[in-house]
Every structure is written in structure tokens, then in C-alpha cells.
Structure 1
Amino acid sequence: MREFEQVIDRKNTRSVKWGNMAAVYGIEDASDVLPMWIADMDFKAPEPVIEAMRERLDHGVFGYSYICSACKDAVRNWLSERHGWETKNEWMLFHHGVVPAIATVVETFTNEGDNILITSPVYPPFFNVPGHQQRNIVECRMIEEDGNYTIDFEEFERCLKKDVKLFILCNPHNPAGIVWSNEELKQMLELCNKYNVLVLSDEIHADLVLPGSVHTPLAKVAEEIGGRVITCVAPTKTFNLAGVQAAIMIAKDEDLREALQKNALSHGQMDLNAFASSALVAAYEEGGPWLNKLLEIISSNMDYVIDKLHEAVPKIHIRKPEATYLLWIDYRDTGLSEQEMMDKLLKKGKLALEPGSKYGEAGKGFLRMNIAAPRSVVEDGVERFITAMNS
């Protein structure tokens, strides 16, 4: 697994994670700060993906490109083999990312002033994207106990009664790393069906489910009980291709697809660029072995961080997630405010993590830590965390 041991210098590469910390955290100099915040990995993409883009580069002509059947076949076969979800090529619409896809769904199926349901704490664009489109967020706060999160279904239904038009689901969940059970997904969908609510299921982390857990696409549940579901998937989180920009919206319902296509035409939206389509096909056709190794690395890194921090900082509590490469760290027992904790980490530990309030009011008292990096980098991050807490 040497490819996951190599430390790659990402500075001066226009990396948001490594090059934009001073602006994000409001500090003058971030040159000695270790970034373990935004959710991309410090690993190279799989070699077949790099080679596919290299071949496209060497061709030298970069005219308009389109989504060929090979792109759709690669997505369809991956979803079938990896998640047991049988789709069809005609169900797929391509976009430049899952967040832009969320924005498209919000714009297409809701109006200004409409209510959109989310379950918090949750990925910030679930709040921000609808807000920028003048939609109202209805927040169903999840029940948390010792780092375990569950849906309060009585509250969930009360929220749906507020004339909600769209429910945005994070499946698997970011930042808590929850892999929703079939029964939980069924309850959510049954209630949305009861109130005729469209569901957008963001499944960008579906491939990053750790050993011992199994991802269930919401659309598979809909095949059993019905429901209007649009699913967003992407190779970008799985294979560290965020900067390449590619995502897929999948909708079995023809009316939903036609509405999304009409929206795309209204914005002059083009197909994926030549590099994105080349990367997508290579990733889904040849990236499986690389991903299997990656999941072992992620799980091992998580075990290391959890063991070390629990031993060195007993008031820190971390539940190992079932998916993602993100740890959701509970520091409430330290008695520190969020500002005090962030100051310690940035000024004393020289470590950049994400504050929990970024994920809504329900995230206060938590931190999000990205451990998708070589073990030596993860060890450095742990030592910086411990130094900060002992300062």
C-alpha cells in the first residue's frame, strides 16, 4: 500500500485545503498549520484514472465533448456491482458536482419562500444553497446520544406538515458518518410520500462505507414502497477527483428528468469536460481495487486517531463512523467554547479542523477531522491536537 504512504506536497497547487486556510480561518499566516478540514484526500487518484486523463491530454485537441454511452455504462455497472442498485442509462443526467446538482434540484422543484427540510447537523450546503435561493429551511434536529444519531420521526413528521416541498437527505450522513438502515430509510420515505414531498438523496459518500456496514440507496427503497426520489452520486469523493468536477443525477421518474433537463437548457448547461468524462469512466471501470485498499487505510487511520486521543485527552469522545473519512469529535466535556477550542487548535497546535457550528446549531461542541492522509500526516495531526489540549 505504498501509494497511500507517499506524502505529496500540495502547496502552491491552488488547493483550497492547503492554500486558502489563512482566508478561511482569519489568520495572517497559515504556512505552519496542518489542514485536516475540507473533505478531499491527500492521496493521489488511482493510476488508471491518471493515465486516462494523461492520454486525453496527450491527444492535444480539447473541443466540445459529450456524455457517451460508455460513461453511463460505467456508472450503471458500478452501482449494480457495488450497491446492488439496478439503474438504466436513460435515468441519468450529468452535472459539474453534487452541490451544483442540489442547487439545480432546489431551483427546479421549489419556489422562493418554499420550505425545505433537512436533518441537522448536516453538510453546510444543505443550509446555504436553499438559503441563497430564498427558500426557507425547516430543521429537524437529530437525536444524539454518545455520538450516535437517530431521527426523531415524530418531529420529522411535524416538520413535514409545515408544507415542506423538498427533503434533502445525506445518505450516508456527513458529518456523523451514519449509514442509514433500510428501516430508517423506509420510515423517512413513507412519511415523505404521505405528504407528497420530493426527496433529494445526496449519496456522494456511498462508496466510502467502511467494512461491516452496507449502503442502501434510497431509490432501492422507493422501488418497494414508491416515492419521488432524485439521487446524486459522483466519483469525485470516492477517488479524490473534486477538482475534476463530475456528478450524476439519477431519476427514474420521467417527469422529474424532463424538468431537470429543461432547467439545464435554461442555464445553457453543457456536458462534462473532456477530462471529467475520461476520469469518470476509468474510475468506475478500474478503480475498485484502489478503493478497497483505501477503505482499509481509512479504517486503520480512524482507529489510530480514536485510540490516541481517547488515551491522551480523556474528555474527548469519538464514535467510529460507519462511512466517510471524517471523524466527528465531541469535546463538550472539556467545557471549552467553540472559539476557545478553535484558538487552541490553530494557535497552539497549528492544526485546522472544522468547527461543528458550521453544520448547524446541533453541531456545537463538535469538530470535524479529515483523516484521509498518509499515516505520518495523521500522526502529526494527532500530536498537534494533543499539544493544543495540553497547552
Structure 2
Amino acid sequence: MNQHFEQIIDRKNTRAAKWDLVKQLYGSEDVLPMWVADMDFQIPPAVSNALSERAKHGIFGYTLTDKTFSQSVVDWINYKHKWSIKSDWLLYSPGVITTLHMAIQALTEKGDKVLIQTPVYPPFFQIVKTHERQLIENELLLTNGKYEIDFRDMEEKFKQGVKAFILCNPHNPVGRVWTKDELEKIIALCKKYNVLILADEIHADLVYEPNKHIPIASLDEEILQHSITCMSPTKTFNLAGLQASYVVTANKTIRKEMEEMFHKQGIHGVNTLGITALEAAYNDGRQWLTQLMEQLKTNLDHVIEIFDNRTDVNVIRPEGTYLIWLDFRSLNMSHEELKKFLQKDAKIGLNDGVSFGEKGTGFMRMNIATPLALVKDGVERITTALDNRKKEEE
């Protein structure tokens, strides 16, 4: 195990949402937070060094995203995903959710139908509803412990005049990395019904072998021209607080409409330190990412090993992301009872499954991007509470 990922770092009182909101969200300071999707690991040394050097300069005026910076993005996407893009396809943004808000406003009209696949990352619901679009849900099917796309339902929904589809790949929270076959079926339906694809691929770099992330826009020239792809180093390298992301779109008209919407909303790209961090991460973070994935695999294997020996928790094994979708439905608790049990008895803070949609009832999301010792602590808290509950019932 790499020592870099073993160290437990105290993040309390650093304004870390994950740790400093514990009492407010879960009612007690002794709850172990394993919820919001950031890591408890320090960023790559190359990124820390680059930020330190930039800080020493002492001037933080308006900063350009120049050709050298854009080339770092182009090279990373080619290295990691074997997708050759052009630098002029790129737009920069503070975050993927910001980009999706801009896309919905720029590329759809009020009243348009926008499809999402539930259970899914909670902001997707707000992205659609906030801008007065019609929310259409294509529920994923849980079959033999694995989520699949209901293509028959998807087509029926597309027939109703869906304008845009927000694709989440790798999927948050269920951890699927959609296969080439699945993506090609999506492409065929989107082409048949002229549906614009808004692809959230923020977790693209965090995939467990032998799974392989494939950017959907890389598979088809027509879809390349009828889509946007949202990516970022923030999940990959734990840089969320620096607000650096980008949009890939080859369509000049879409790119212009997106750029105009960003400017209309007063959003002008990436901040100075975000630029520094992205460039350093993509240029010099490859070895760190390899070691990170080894650590995440170790953490994941531990969670699965412990829960596989139980009948009261079912782990939906993720193919990507550092998030685990836990199925507690066999406990036959109401969702409110489950939340109270985990908070009060297990003393663990997980993401509420219902926030991902109605089909998240009885589920919780766990973040395992933390030292193995804390993963073990979290799992033990859950199993101990379950064992105590069983004894009380006997």
C-alpha cells in the first residue's frame, strides 16, 4: 500500500464540507462522514508544488487559458481515453454542474422535455426543473445485482418528444461504466429521435479494470456534432475546491451558443489556481492516479468482502467512481428508519438514497476515497450496529 494514501489527515476546521457539516447534517460530532464526493487524500505532489510556486509569484490577476494549457487537456484525453480532440473544441467552466445549467438554457427551450436516468446525481433534477423544462425519467433496471438501461422505456420516452438527454457515465451513484454496445444503442436512439446528448463524464478517469470508459462522442461523427461532453480533473485529482472543468464540443454552433450563455451569466472560465492545478495534474499526475486506483480497489475489495458475508446489506459493485451504492432493503425499514439507524446507531454519515430519486428508497451511497483505516471503521460501524439490532430482535 502506498504511504501517501495511508495517512489520515485531519480536515476538520478547514471549511471542508464533508467534515465541518457533520453535526449540522447528522446531528452529532461523532458521526464518521462518508458522503460528499471528494477524497481524504492529498493531491499529487506535482500539483502541490505547482500551486506553491504560483502562490510565491504573489500576483493573481486575470489569467489566460492559452494553447499550452489547452494542449494539456487534449493530451490527457488522448492518453486516458484514446480520443483525439482539437483544442478549439474546448470551453472552460468552473464546474460540470455549472456547464449543464448553461447547456439547458442555451440549447433547449422552456417546456422542452429533458431525460435523465434514475437513480442519479441529485443536481440533475434541479438542472431540469429550475429552468422550467419537463423532467422525464428513464429508470435503470437492477438485475442480478447490476444496473442496466431499459432501452424499451427509453425509446418510448424519446417518442414523446424528448429534446435532450443528460447521460451520466460513469454513472453516479450506481457505478456503471456503460459498455460500447450500450453506448451504441443510446446513440442509435438519439439519432433516430434527434435527441441532444449532454454527457457528464466527470468520473471518466476513475474506472476499475477490466472496465473501460468510452466517451460517447468519440463513437459516432453525427453524435460528435450533436452533443457536449463535460469533463474535469476535480474528481480524479481531488481538486473540486479549485473549480476547474471543461466542455468538449465539435459543433461550432453549439459551442458559440454555450459560450454566449456563459458570458450572459457572467461566467468566464477557470480561476488562476484552477488553471495551474489542472495543467500540473494532467502533465504530471499519471503515476499518482495509478496508485490512487490501486488504493481504491483495495478499499472496494474490503467493503465487498465484509458485506458479502452478510444478508442484510447488498453491495452494488461499482465499475467506476469511488462511490458505492449500498442496498439495505432487506432490513424492511422505512427509509426514515434507515436514515435514523445509520446516523444514531451506526454513527456513519452516508448520502441519502432518496435524494437520487424515488428508486433510491432503501439505498445509501458510501464514499470510499479515504484511507483504508477509515473505510474499515465505517464498515465496522455499520456491521456492529446491524449485529446489535439483530440481538435486540431475538
TM-score (normalizing by structure 2): 0.96
Q: Aligned partner of 1:323: which letter?
A: G
SS at match of 2:325: strand
Q: Aligned partner of 1:113: which letter?
A: G
Give 1:143's match in structure 2, choosing from 141, 144, 165: 141
Give 1:258's match in structure 2, choosing from 256, 261, 265: 256
SS at match of 1:382: helix
Corresponding residue for residue 345 of structure 1: 342
Give 1:319's match in structure 2, choosing from 304, 316, 319: 316
Corresponding residue for residue 114 of structure 1: 112
Corresponding residue for residue 7 of structure 2: 6
Corresponding residue for residue 22 of structure 1: 23
1:126 lines up with 2:103 in the alignment: no
Corresponding residue for residue 392 of structure 2: none
1:228-287 C-alpha deviation (Å, 9 max, x unpaired): 110000000000000010100000111110111111221222231110000000000011
SS at match of 2:92: strand
| 1:227 Cα deviation from its structure 2 partner | 5.3
Question: RMSD over aligned Cα, in angstroms?
Answer: 1.3
Corresponding residue for residue 154 of structure 2: 156
1:297-330 C-alpha deviation (Å, 9 max, x unpaired): 111101101111232x322111321100111111
Whether the 8 Å CA contact 1:147–1:330 is kept in 2: the answer is no
Q: Aligned partner of 1:213: which letter?
A: N
| 1:24 Cα deviation from its structure 2 partner | 3.2
CA distance, structure 1, for counterparts of residue 326 and residue 263 of structure 2: 43
CA distance, structure 1, for counterparts of residue 341 and residue 183 of structure 2: 39
Structure 1 residues 287 and 226: CA distance shift in structure 2, 3 A: closer
1:77-102 C-alpha deviation (Å, 9 max, x unpaired): 01001110000000000000011011
1:20-56 C-alpha deviation (Å, 9 max, x unpaired): 133334x2xx311100011100000101011111111
Q: Aligned partner of 2:204: which letter?
A: A
CA distance, structure 2, for counterparts of residue 67 and residue 225 of structure 1: 27
Corresponding residue for residue 279 of structure 2: 281
Whether the 8 Å CA contact 2:303–2:379 is kept in 1: the answer is yes
| 1:221 Cα deviation from its structure 2 partner | 1.3
Answer with 221-230 or 238-247: which moved more: 221-230
Whether the 8 Å CA contact 1:190–1:225 is kept in 2: the answer is no
1:331 lines up with 2:328 in the alignment: yes
Corresponding residue for residue 246 of structure 1: 244
| 1:387 Cα deviation from its structure 2 partner | 2.2
CA distance, structure 2, for counterparts of residue 344 and residue 37 of structure 1: 16
Give 2:215's match in structure 1, choosing from 214, 217, 223: 217
Q: Aligned partner of 1:4: which letter?
A: F
**Where do 1:30-69 residues align within 5 Å?**
30-69=28-67
Whether the 8 Å CA contact 1:222–1:229 is kept in 2: the answer is no
CA distance, structure 2, for counterparts of residue 389 and residue 133 of structure 1: 43
**Where do 1:63-78 residues align within 5 Å?**
63-78=61-76
Answer with 329-338 or 274-283: which moved more: 329-338
1:149-187 C-alpha deviation (Å, 9 max, x unpaired): 111111101111222111000011111110111111111
SS at match of 1:31: coil
Structure 1 residues 44 and 56: CA distance shift in structure 2, 3 A: same
CA distance, structure 2, for counterparts of residue 260 and residue 334 of structure 1: 47
Matched residues, percent identical? 43
| 1:224 Cα deviation from its structure 2 partner | 7.3
Q: Aligned partner of 2:254: which letter?
A: L
| 1:214 Cα deviation from its structure 2 partner | 0.7
1:197-230 C-alpha deviation (Å, 9 max, x unpaired): 1101100000000121111100111237765110
SS at match of 2:242: coil
Q: Aligned partner of 1:384: which letter?
A: R
Gaps of 5+ in 2: 389-394
Whether the 8 Å CA contact 2:225–2:250 is kept in 1: the answer is no
Whether the 8 Å CA contact 1:211–1:295 is kept in 2: the answer is no
Whether the 8 Å CA contact 1:37–1:354 is kept in 2: the answer is yes
| 1:66 Cα deviation from its structure 2 partner | 1.5
SS at match of 1:141: coil
CA distance, structure 2, for counterparts of residue 353 and residue 268 of structure 1: 35
Q: Aligned partner of 2:212: which letter?
A: V
Gaps of 5+ in 1: none
CA distance, structure 2, for counterparts of residue 140 and residue 99 of structure 1: 20
Corresponding residue for residue 391 of structure 2: none
| 1:145 Cα deviation from its structure 2 partner | 1.4
Give 1:388's match in structure 2, choosing from 362, 385, 388: 385
Q: Aligned partner of 1:340: which letter?
A: E
Whether the 8 Å CA contact 1:219–1:229 is kept in 2: the answer is yes
Corresponding residue for residue 363 of structure 1: 360
Structure 1 residues 21 and 135: CA distance shift in structure 2, 3 A: farther
